[in-house]
C-alpha cells in the first residue's frame, strides 16, 4: 500500500472520530451579522433620523401653548410694591398659537440633510459589514488551515506507528540495530508532540472564530473547505468606500444651502385668546384676544456667513485630499494583492510537484524497510521532507485564500 492510499483510507476515520458535525463559512458569517451590535446600532440610527424627520415636519405646524400667570402684590399700611408696576396683582389664562412661515425649499433642504445622513449611515453599515465579513473569513481560513495541518499530522503519526511496529519486529530479529529503532522512535515521538501542539492551536483559533461570530459554544466542529472564488473588481467609483466621498460632497453642498436659508427673512404669525386681568376694574370684562406678525430680517452679524462658507470650503479640500489618497492607495493595494496571488499560486504548483517526489521516495524506503534493506536515516529524512512539503503546501493554500479574501473585500 502506498502512502497516498494509506492516508486516503484513514481520512474518513479521523474526520468522523474527531468531529461530530460540519459547519461552513456561511454559518459563521450569518451568525456574526445577526449578533453584531454595531450593525444593530446603525439600523437604530436610521430609525432615529426618520423620527427626526417627523419632528421637523411637526415643528412647522401650528404650535399651541397654554400659559397662566397668577400673582398678588398687597400694599399694607402704604408699604408694598409700586402699584404702577404690579397693578396690585395679575390673573391670566391664555392659549396662544404660533405659526412659522417657511418656504418649501427650506424644509426640503432640512429633509435632505437627514436623507443624506441616512445614506451615510447605511454606507457606513455596509463598510462595517464588509469589515466584519472579511474578519470572519480570515479567521475561518486560519482555523481551517490549522485543521488541515492537524489532520495531516495525525495521518503521518498513524503511518509512523504502523512502520514502527514493523521496524520493532525487524530490530528484534537483528535485521536492524537498536540505534536505528531509537532514531525512528524519536521521530515518531516528535510527531506526537506536533499533533498536540497543533490541537491546541486549532482549539484557540476555533474559539476565536466563535468569539468574533458572537457564538457562545466551546464544542468544536469540522470546518468545510472555504469555497472562495476571486470576484471581478468593479470600477472604483462603484464601491462603498468611494461612495462615502460622494455623500460627503452632497452633504457639504446641502450645508451651503442651509447657510443661505438661515440668512433669509423669517415670518412668524401668532394669535392668543383668554383671560388677562389685574382685577382692579371690571374684571369680568377682561376676556379678549390678540394677533400679529413677527418679521425678522438679518442685517449684520459680523460676516459670520462668509466664515461659514470658508469652513465648508476647507472641509471640501479635506474631502478631496482623502479621495485622491484613497484612489491611489486602492490601485496600489489591489495590484500588489494580485501580484501576491499569482506568485503564491505558482509556488503551490511547485510544492505539489515536490510532494510527488517526496511521496515516491517514502514509498521506496518503506518497501526497502519490509525487506530489511532500507537505511533508517534515509527513511526519516524522506518522511521529514514530505511533512515539510505538506505543511508548506497547507500554509500557501491558506495564504492564497487569505489573499483572495483581501481582494474580494474591495468588491463585497
pLDDT in tens, 130-144: 999 999 999 999 999
Q: Give the model's pLDDT for residue 412.
A: 59
Q: Which of 113, 118, 52, 119 is nearest to 259 (CA)?
A: 113
pTM, full prediction: 0.82
Q: Which of 115, 130, 128 is nearest to 46 (CA)?
A: 115
Do 251 and 365 belong to one domain? yes
Do 351 and 397 belong to one domain? yes
Q: Is the pLDDT of residue 48 over 90?
A: yes
Is the separation of the CB atoms in 376 and 176 below 8 Å? Answer: yes
* Three-class SS state of 295: strand
CATH code of the domain containing 245: 1.20.1600.10
Is the separation of the CB atoms in 122 and 374 below 8 Å? Answer: no
Vertex 400 angle, CA 222 and 201, to 5°: 40
Q: Give the model's pLDDT for residue 85.
A: 72
Average pLDDT (140-160) is: 91
**pLDDT digits over 350-374, tens only?**
999 998 988 888 888 888 877 777 7
Final residue of a structural domain among 297, 320, 352 = 297
Q: Give the model's pLDDT for residue 118.
A: 94
Domain limits for position 80 = 61-101+265-297
DSSP-assigned states of every residue in 297-316: ----SSSHHHHHHHHHHHHH
Average pLDDT (34-52) is: 93
**pLDDT digits over 239-278, tens only?**
888 999 999 999 999 999 999 988 889 899 989 899 888 7
- Residue 220's pLDDT band (cuts 50, 70, 90): confident
CATH code of the domain containing 90: 2.20.200.10
Lowest mean pLDDT among 4-13, 49-58, 373-382: 4-13
Which residues fall within 8 angstroms of residue 256, CB to CB, at 6 or more apart? Answer: 309, 312
Do 87 and 201 belong to one domain? no
**pLDDT digits over 164-196, tens only?**
888 888 888 888 888 888 888 888 899 899 999
Mean pLDDT taken over the chain: 87
Q: Is the pLDDT of residue 22 over 90?
A: no
Do 84 and 112 belong to one domain? no
- Residue 20's pLDDT band (cuts 50, 70, 90): low
Q: Give the model's pLDDT for residue 17.
A: 45
Return d(Cα 133, Cα 30) in angstroms, integer.
9
Do 79 and 167 belong to one domain? no
Average pLDDT (124-133) is: 94
Total number of domains constituting the chain = 2
Amino acid at each position: 500500500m502506498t502512502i497516498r492510499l494509506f492516508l486516503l483510507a484513514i481520512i474518513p476515520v479521523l474526520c468522523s472520530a474527531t468531529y461530530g458535525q460540519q459547519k461552513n463559512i456561511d454559518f459563521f458569517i450569518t451568525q456574526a451579522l445577526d449578533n453584531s451590535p454595531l450593525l444593530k446600532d446603525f439600523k437604530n440610527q436610521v430609525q432615529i433620523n426618520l423620527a427626526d424627520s417627523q419632528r421637523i415636519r411637526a415643528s412647522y405646524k401650528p404650535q399651541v401653548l397654554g400659559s397662566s400667570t397668577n400673582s398678588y402684590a398687597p400694599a399694607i399700611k402704604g408699604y408694598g410694591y409700586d402699584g404702577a408696576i404690579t397693578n396690585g396683582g395679575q390673573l391670566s389664562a391664555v392659549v396662544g398659537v404660533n405659526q412659522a412661515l417657511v418656504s418649501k425649499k427650506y424644509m426640503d433642504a432640512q429633509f435632505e440633510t437627514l436623507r443624506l445622513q441616512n445614506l451615510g449611515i447605511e454606507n457606513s453599515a455596509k463598510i462595517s459589514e464588509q469589515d466584519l465579513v472579511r474578519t470572519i473569513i480570515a479567521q475561518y481560513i486560519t482555523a481551517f488551515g490549522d485543521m488541515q495541518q492537524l489532520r495531516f499530522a495525525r495521518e503521518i503519526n498513524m503511518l509512523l506507528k504502523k512502520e514502527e511496529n514493523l521496524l520493532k519486529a525487524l530490530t528484534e530479529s537483528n535485521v536492524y540495530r537498536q540505534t536505528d529503532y531509537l532514531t525512528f522512535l524519536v521521530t515518531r515521538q516528535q510527531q506526537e508532540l506536533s499533533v498536540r501542539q497543533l490541537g491546541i492551536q486549532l482549539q484557540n483559533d476555533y474559539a476565536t472564530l466563535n468569539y468574533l461570530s458572537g457564538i457562545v459554544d466551546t464544542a468544536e466542529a469540522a470546518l468545510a473547505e472555504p469555497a472562495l472564488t476571486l470576484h471581478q473588481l468593479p470600477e472604483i467609483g462603484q464601491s462603498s468606500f468611494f461612495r462615502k466621498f460622494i455623500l460627503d460632497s452632497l452633504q457639504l453642498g446641502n450645508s451651503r444651502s442651509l447657510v443661505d436659508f438661515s440668512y433669509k427673512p423669517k415670518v412668524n404669525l401668532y394669535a392668543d385668546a383668554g383671560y388677562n386681568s389685574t382685577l382692579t376694574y371690571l374684571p369680568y370684562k377682561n376676556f379678549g384676544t390678540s394677533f400679529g406678525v413677527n418679521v425678522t430680517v438679518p442685517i449684520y452679524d459680523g460676516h459670520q456667513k462668509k466664515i461659514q462658507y470658508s469652513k465648508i470650503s476647507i472641509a471640501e479640500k479635506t474631502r478631496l485630499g482623502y479621495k485622491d489618497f484613497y484612489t491611489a492607495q486602492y490601485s496600489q493595494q489591489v495590484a500588489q494583492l494580485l501580484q501576491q496571488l499569482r506568485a503564491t499560486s505558482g509556488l503551490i504548483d511547485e510544492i505539489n510537484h515536490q510532494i510527488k517526489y517526496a511521496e515516491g521516495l517514502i514509498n521506496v524506503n518503506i518497501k526497502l524497510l519490509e525487506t530489511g534493506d532500507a537505511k533508517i536515516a534515509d527513511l526519516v529524512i524522506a518522511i521529514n521532507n514530505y511533512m515539510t512539503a505538506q505543511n508548506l503546501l497547507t500554509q500557501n493554500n491558506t495564504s492564497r485564500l487569505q489573499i483572495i479574501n483581501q481582494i474580494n473585500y474591495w468588491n463585497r
